[in-house]
Amino acid sequence: MIDKSSKQQMENSLELLNSIKRVKPPEDLYQKIELKIENAKGNLISFTWVKVAAAVFVCVFSVEIYLLSNQDQTSDITELIQTADNTLYDE
């Protein structure tokens, strides 16, 4: 059960779509688009540099883990060494 008013509204909407006219783009639009794409490609970081940065990060992270794991051993040695106290006291 469709109302005649809703059918009429639909036909009016479709008639509006039929009234749309084709627009001709400017002649140099394609060249502008290509130029923007080329400029965007120039701003990207190459995959080689990404791999180098990842390798450096892994190396630094590995060194940090190594130093932190060996820190416990050095703290044990420092507990055994007595520090000299050369302060003078007023008696």
pLDDT band at 12 (very low <50, low <70, confident <90, very high): confident
d(CA 29, CA 49): 34
User: For residue 43, is pLDDT > 80?
Assistant: no
Query: DSSP string of 22-34?
Result: --PPPTTHHHHHH
Cα distance between the two ends of the chain: 110
User: Which of 1 and 5 is assigned the larger pLDDT?
Assistant: 5
pLDDT digits (tens, 9 = 90+) for 62-80: 999 988 887 655 555 666 7
Question: Distances in Å between the alpha carbon of 88 and those of 85, 91?
Answer: 9, 9
User: For residue 50, is pLDDT > 90?
Assistant: yes
Amino acid letter for position 15: E
d(CA 64, CA 70): 10
To the nearest whole number, what is the mean pLDDT of the chain? 81
